Amino acid sequence: MPTLNEIRSTFLNYFAKNGHEVVPSSPLVPRNDPTLMFTNSGMVQFKNLFTGVETRDYKRATTAQKCVRAGGKHNDLDNVGYTARHHTFFEMLGNFSFGDYFKKEAIPFAWELITKDFGIDKSRLLTTVYHTDDEAFEIWKKVGVPEDRIIRIATSDNFWQMGPTGPCGPCTEIFYDHGEHIWGGPPGSPDEDGDRFIEIWNIVFMQNEQFEDGSMRELDMQSIDTGMGLERIGALLQESHDNYDTDLFKALIEASAHVTNVDPYGDQNVHHRVIADHLRSTSFLIADGVMPSNDGRGYVLRRIMRRAMRHAHLLGAKDPVMHRLVPALVQQMGAQYPELGQAQALIEETLLLEETRFKQTLDRGLKLLDDELAALPEDAPLPGEAAFKLYDTYGFPLDLTQDALREKGRVVDTEGFDAAMAEQKAKARAAWAGSGEAADLAVWFDVLDVAGATDFLGYDTEKAEGQI
Ligand code: ATP
Ligand code: MG
Ligand code: MG
Ligand code: MG
């Protein structure tokens, strides 16, 4: 069975052979793009090529792109540990045409690669097209997909957008049916969130540009943007429906089992999965220059780190463990991504410092949470003030508290949380105003509201969709 590293190479070589330039992954922090929190797909670095603002000496490209989906428009943080196919960090394999080939070539390229080079059983595959896209429907028929396995979808699932603005277009997706033994329904059905039918490849027909005011224009040239999750195709080629069963994830899960001394595949497996996933996003974000902080990108990083640390705590880890997992990650991915090895010491130090600090309040915070819950009726939501106290005093990001409660089938009163947050802000304002320099400080606070630079503004800033 091919390893993830081998599958990545097969993909890139296939498109290189077909006239594509192999372009390195761009960093996770998009350059000059304040509308986007993290690079969340392969097309991000090519945005200006699709709109025609920029041209290069190639019209076809292929990449393995580092992606993080843990904030903004595409956010899969809450899926991790609950689905077999989502990560916060993953690699997106893609091929791109900038005003060169379009639908007629893109669909056969994808079909040939997965059915011939990868040898996937055709009878297990189905595809979706945007409901009005007869052309894509016909091309799928022509390559040999039976009509009843080409599903027309009218929702945004088949209209791809990177974020609130930018190039976008209708798309077609390729799904693999893992079989009846796994729960889930075909795309477009009420059970589509299950893991039976897994989307492996998304092919976008880039023909529009979306603007901030909601309007859209037709692009002058027609382009192709595709994305296939390496971990998903990897699971398939390693005969599993579960990304966490791939060679790379097994190595990370075993490392987590080793440092916590807890069986990797027993009933605690979910904690190992979350740790393995969050180790990757955390390490790659730090390697790309993000540091944990209380606002913007840094706060998303901190949230991911602390979530992982809570799961390590649930595995009984007394001492910090996350930093001890970094060598296993570097061993798995360092050859493809040298920045990981270069930043290894920084990643380890940052994890150790953050985990040491968070451990000082984690135990007490979790105890407070248990006490609060014990004092409440069975399914009452956790009061907003309690969640706010956990946030403010114990350093629990709201989503960490929600994650902890989800295991118990409980929720947070988020309105109450927001109210407590607003109240604290107002108090802080009043306290400053009382210091005698009210006029100047009012301006200063307005600036902070926009820029978001203090502890208590952190959560607010982060909540703004796709913005920092
Ligand atoms: P899903 O519907 O399964 O959430 P998606 O439609 O949101 O996937 P796209 O935006 O189309 O995903 O991204 C292109 C490809 O990247 C997907 O077909 C999938 O193979 C992969 N992918 C997307 N999100 C993730 C994730 N969170 N973890 C791992 N792979 C992903
Ligand atoms: Mg998704
Ligand atoms: Mg989808
Ligand atoms: Mg998709």
ipTM of the complex: 0.99
Q: For residues 89 and 448, what is the distance between their CA atoms, to the nearest angstrom?
A: 30
Residue keyed to tokens 């791809």: 160
Instruction: Look at residue 434 in the predicted model and tell me its pLDDT.
Output: 58
Q: How does pLDDT run across 296-310, given as a tens digit for each residue? A: 999 999 999 999 999
The Å distance, Cα 160 to ligand 3 centre, comes to 9
46, amino acid identity: F
* Proportion of the chain above pLDDT 70, given as a percent: 92
435 confidence band (pLDDT: 50, 70, 90): low
Is the pLDDT at 443 greater than 60, yes or no?
Answer: no
280 lines ligand 1 (CB under 6 A): no
231 lines ligand 1 (CB under 6 A): yes
The Å distance, Cα 142 to ligand 4 centre, comes to 22
Residues 197-201 have a mean pLDDT of 96
Instruction: Look at residue 456 in the predicted model and tell me its pLDDT.
Output: 31
Q: How does pLDDT run across 117-144, given as a tens digit for each residue? A: 999 999 999 999 999 999 999 999 999 9
90 lines ligand 1 (CB under 6 A): yes
The Å distance, Cα 298 to ligand 4 centre, comes to 27
* Proportion of the chain above pLDDT 90, given as a percent: 83
69 lines ligand 1 (CB under 6 A): yes
Residues 429-437 have a mean pLDDT of 67
Among 52-56, 148-152, 159-163, 210-214, which is the least confidently predicted range? 159-163
Instruction: Look at residue 455 in the predicted model and tell me its pLDDT.
Output: 33
Instruction: Look at residue 467 in the predicted model and tell me its pLDDT.
Output: 33
Residue keyed to tokens 């929720």: 411
Instruction: Look at residue 193 in the predicted model and tell me its pLDDT.
Output: 87
Q: How does pLDDT run across 171-190, given as a tens digit for each residue? A: 999 999 999 999 999 999 99
Q: For residues 228 and 91, what is the distance between their CA atoms, to the nearest angstrom?
A: 8
What's the N-to-C CA distance of the chain in angstroms? 42
Residue ID of nearest Cα to ligand 1 atom 21: 229
Instruction: Look at residue 452 in the predicted model and tell me its pLDDT.
Output: 37
Q: What is the pTM of this model?
A: 0.90
The minimum-distance atom of ligand 1 relative to the CA of 157 is: 6
Residues 89-108 have a mean pLDDT of 98
Best residue for ligand 1 mutational test, from 86, 95, 127, 197 (most atoms within 8 Å of Cβ): 86
Q: How does pLDDT run across 212-249, given as a tens digit for each residue? A: 998 999 998 999 999 999 999 999 999 999 999 999 99
Is the pLDDT at 468 greater than 80, yes or no?
Answer: no
Among 41-55, 151-165, 203-217, 255-269, which is the least confidently predicted range? 151-165
Least distant ligand from the CA of 88: 1
The Å distance, Cα 437 to ligand 2 centre, comes to 49
The Å distance, Cα 217 to ligand 2 centre, comes to 25
Q: Which two tokens stand for residue 361?
A: 């309040």
The Å distance, Cα 364 to ligand 4 centre, comes to 41
Least distant ligand from the CA of 83: 1
The minimum-distance atom of ligand 1 relative to the CA of 173 is: 18
Closest to 196 measured CA to CA, from 214, 211, 208, 184: 184
